[in-house]
């Protein structure tokens, strides 16, 4: 079901056109690298003025994906008490952080996007060599290295090691030491539990438009107009790796022999299954249009009168 190829009707469209009430909602998009995160964050920046919310980028020292315990506390307190910047969407490459550990009662809303793990690794491999069309003149750390991903796998190089696949699981697992041990079964199960219990919705790169549609239907306070913006094409493909070579079948087969690929792929397929479940629960196909399945509950037998 490709929602974005059809007109969308939202049952809450009338309500979402009213002036948004003041609120203290905080959304955290702890973006995984090379999953379409720049495109999505760019859309949030385009929407924030008209929908009257704030977008803030979290920049960590040395691009660290985890914070010290003291910084975890400061971060949790900061974003939940910074009233002048609410409502807000924070985005950055940071592992999941459980706010209940710090006594935070009203937790932020988590969202994220995942991608086929091998596609993500190949994209990153060529990105650090050739850059992208977003900042084409920025010299990347592997600039000048023209070795293909296939050749790297043949010689068992570090850049293409299956260990580098171990990223989406740790991002969802969090700040526990075990999360960052490649091949940890506990980390895989914890990542699944966090996805189910702590994330409002986790989309997939391959269906980015449908992820945006679900967000607009669920959080129009932030994402009203997102589908139209995405369908306009201006934010659909914001960032592309300049040069990327599809790996040979024998290369793919070798990567898939690894335990780490199997575990990352299991997590990815788990996320896809949950996303498709949400998508089919959120929209109906009616006369060739996808319509939100909204307003399907009511309150009755209210006492006392």
Catalytic residue among 7, 54, 91, 175: 91
Partners of residue 112 on adjacent β-strands: 202
173 φ, ψ to 5°? -70, -50
Q: Residue 147 corresponds to which tokens in the numbers above?
A: 């070795």
Under a CB-based contact definition with an 8 Å cutoff, are residues 106 and 86 in contact?
Answer: no
| Pairing label, strands 283-286, 289-292 | antiparallel
Catalytic entry in 7, 54, 57, 93: 93
Nearest to 187 by CA among 266, 110, 249: 266
Q: How far, in Å, CA of 98 to CA of 108, rounded?
A: 10
The reply to whether 91 belongs to the active site is yes
| Dist CA 16 CA 89 (whole Å) | 18
Report the DSSP pairing between strands 289-292 and 8-9: parallel
User: Does residue 197 have an active-site annotation?
Assistant: no
- As annotated, the active-site residues are 91, 93
């Amino acid at each position: 079901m490709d929602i974005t190829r059809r007109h969308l009707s939202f049952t809450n469209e009338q309500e979402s056109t009213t002036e948004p009430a003041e609120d203290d909602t905080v959304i955290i998009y702890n973006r995984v690298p090379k999953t379409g995160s720049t495109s999505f964050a760019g859309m949030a920046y385009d929407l924030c003025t008209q929908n009257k919310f704030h977008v803030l980028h979290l920049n960590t020292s040395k691009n660290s994906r985890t914070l010290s315990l003291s910084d975890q506390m400061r971060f949790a307190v900061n974003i939940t008490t910074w009233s002048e910047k609410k409502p807000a969407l924070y985005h950055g490459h940071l592992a999941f952080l459980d706010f209940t550990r710090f006594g935070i009662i009203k937790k932020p809303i988590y969202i994220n996007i995942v991608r086929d793990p091998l596609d993500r690794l190949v994209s990153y491999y060529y990105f650090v060599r050739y850059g992208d069309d977003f900042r084409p003149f920025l010299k990347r750390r592997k600039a000048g290295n023209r070795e293909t991903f296939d050749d790297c796998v043949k010689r068992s190089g570090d850049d293409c090691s299956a260990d580098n696949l171990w990223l989406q699981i740790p991002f969802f697992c969090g700040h526990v030491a075990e999360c960052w041990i490649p091949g940890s079964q506990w980390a895989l199960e914890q990542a699944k539990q966090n996805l189910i219990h702590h994330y409002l919705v986790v989309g997939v790169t391959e269906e980015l438009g449908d992820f945006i549609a679900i967000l607009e239907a669920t959080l129009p306070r932030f994402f009203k107009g997102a589908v139209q913006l995405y369908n306009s094409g201006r934010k659909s493909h914001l960032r592309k790796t300049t040069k990327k070579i599809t790996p040979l079948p024998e290369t793919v087969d070798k990567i898939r022999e690894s335990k780490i690929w199997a575990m990352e792929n299991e997590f990815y397929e788990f996320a896809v299954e949950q996303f498709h479940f949400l998508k089919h629960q959120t929209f109906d196909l009616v006369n060739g249009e996808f319509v939100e399945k909204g307003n399907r509950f009511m309150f009755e037998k209210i006492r006392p009168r």
